[in-house]
Amino acid sequence: MSSRWPGKYVIGLTGNIATGKSVVRKMLEHLGAFGLDADALAHQAIAKGGPAYAGVTKLFGEWLLTADGEVNRARLGRIVFNDPEALLQLEALIHPVVGQAVDFLVKRTRSSVVVIEAIKLIEAGLARDCDALWVVHVPEAMQEARLIAKRKLSPAEARTRITAQGPQKDKLNAAHVVIDNNGSFEDTWTQVQTAFNKILRPARLPSGAGTTPLPSSTGPLAVRIRRGLPSDATAIAAFIKKATRGRVSLARADVIAAFGDKAYMLAELSGHLAAVAGWKVENLVARVDELYVLPGAPLDQLTPPILEAVETASRELQSEAALVFVPTALAQAAASALAVRGFTLSAPEKLSVAAWVEAARESMPAGSALLFKRLREDRVLRPI
């Protein structure tokens, strides 16, 4: 157990850019760990009003800001990834703030298993406080291809980002566990499960650490709520096709791949799937970007318990707000059904926190409406 955080088993998760660290963190969350993305906390730290915002604008100049006063992270990246001294100065501003936030969140979580994801986990000193160091690895050619495809970087920009970091071999040499993310999702999932069992079970940690019982309906219909696992992928794909009358047709492999980005909550009536919610927590914001209900099924009796389960799990991950996206045609009906849970219709630009606005804008599907609920009054990286 970690000496800094008594009662916690802390996994430090690292690897160079575009190796797939977040996918592995999500897998560990599926297995019951409380996951923290230190790089996302760094984004919050430099957001307008954040604790590192003034320092960054003073160091690099106000020309770095967008029209609405936010730090343009793309401009900042072009500076620091081409100037090692500038990168060190930026990290000197951000690392202490992120370290304080990580310490606060690890202490506050009720989970006994924690995973801290950070690209500079070793360099920032966080690795010293972890019980095990996990490193995610892919060949450099795959890193470059992912940066070009997913982040729309040019080949030259991708190479600059890769070479600006410390050698991956240094991380691999320090690792207790190496996850080879060069294959399929299922290959990686098997490695994560195996490593999780080998490392955590000898520590005598409870199975499913960090989870809480999911709520079930007490209304006229008995609704059973459970968290989906990759083994449910075939059933989830078939249900989505049925619920959308074929408008959305997914293969099992599509759902398996989605598990690398999100989790699924399932609602069952009489042992059969009746509703599915796809959701994730990023940057301390819970987002439900998929909500499917069987045609003819009672929306008002299925959506509150399934979203209560999402909310319960999101609170375990210390989310500060919850965003639910529903088709515009169902907005009023969903708002009425979820009013009992405290959700209200809103719009991204009406949210009061920059991180929530950004989360809504980047996650909101076309043709959808936003339902919002604040989960915590206190914030880890409070405006100053």
pLDDT interval class at 216 (50, 70, 90): low
| Residue tagged 């301390």 (tokens) | 284
Give the SS3 label for residue 384: coil
Task: Quote the crossing angle between the two packed helices 84-108 and 53-60, to the nearest 10°.
Answer: 180
| Structure confidence at residue 326 (pLDDT) | 93
| Structure confidence at residue 208 (pLDDT) | 39
pLDDT interval class at 49 (50, 70, 90): confident
**226 beta partners:** 266
**Average pLDDT over the chain, rounded to an integer:** 90
| Structure confidence at residue 210 (pLDDT) | 39
Buried-exposed string 221-236: b where 16+ CB fall within 10 A, e elsewhere: eebebebbebebbebb
Q: How far is CA 83 from the centre of its chain?
A: 29
In whole angstroms, give the CA distance from residue 305 to residue 366.
25
N-term to C-term CA, the chain: 35
**Domain architecture of the chain: domains with CATH:** 9-200 (3.40.50.300), 223-374 (3.40.630.30)
Cα dihedral: 133, 139, 142, 147 (round 10): 50
Average pLDDT of the residues in 95-115: 94
Report which of 337, 341, 275, 262 is spatially closest to residue 306, judged by C-alpha positions: 275
| Structure confidence at residue 330 (pLDDT) | 87
pLDDT interval class at 373 (50, 70, 90): very high
Average pLDDT of the residues in 317-329: 94
Given a cut of 60, is residue 206 above it in pLDDT?
A: no
Task: Report the range of poorest mean pLDDT among 160-164, 188-192, 240-244, 342-346.
Answer: 160-164
Task: Report the range of poorest mean pLDDT among 183-187, 263-267, 291-295, 378-382.
Answer: 378-382
The tally of CA atoms less than 13 A away on the side-chain side of residue 100 is 11
Percent of residues, the chain, with pLDDT higher than 90 = 79
| Structure confidence at residue 32 (pLDDT) | 87
Alpha helices (H) along the chain: 21-30, 38-45, 53-60, 73-80, 84-108, 140-150, 155-163, 168-174, 185-200, 233-243, 252-258, 299-316, 331-338, 354-363
pLDDT interval class at 165 (50, 70, 90): confident
Alpha helices (H) along 140-272: 140-150, 155-163, 168-174, 185-200, 233-243, 252-258
Average pLDDT of the residues in 360-370: 94
- Tell me which of 116 and 298 has the higher pLDDT: 116
Given a cut of 90, is residue 179 above it in pLDDT?
A: yes
Buried-exposed string 335-361: b where 16+ CB fall within 10 A, e elsewhere: bebbeebebebbebeebebbbbbbbbe
Report which of 368, 372, 222 is spatially closest to residue 301, judged by C-alpha positions: 222
Cβ distance 373 to 311 under 8 Å?
Answer: yes
Q: List for the chain the helix, strand, coil content (%; round to 5).
A: 45, 20, 35
Buried-exposed string 140-161: b where 16+ CB fall within 10 A, e elsewhere: eeebbebbeeeeebeeebbebb
Sign for the CA dihedral angle at 28, 307, 282, 263 comes to positive
| Structure confidence at residue 217 (pLDDT) | 52
Task: Report the range of poorest mean pLDDT among 32-46, 218-232, 280-294.
Answer: 218-232
Cβ distance 287 to 310 under 8 Å?
Answer: no
Cβ distance 266 to 232 under 8 Å?
Answer: yes
Task: Report the range of poorest mean pLDDT among 20-34, 57-71, 83-97, 194-208.
Answer: 194-208
Q: How far is CA 310 from the centre of its chain?
A: 13
In whole angstroms, give the CA distance from residue 81 to residue 87.
7
| Residue tagged 């909550």 (tokens) | 265
- Tell me which of 187 and 205 has the higher pLDDT: 187
**291 beta partners:** 277
Give the SS3 label for residue 23: helix
- pLDDT tens track for 248-289: 999 999 999 999 999 999 999 988 999 999 999 998 999 999
| Structure confidence at residue 215 (pLDDT) | 55
Given a cut of 70, is residue 51 above it in pLDDT?
A: yes
Tokens of 135: 């490193």
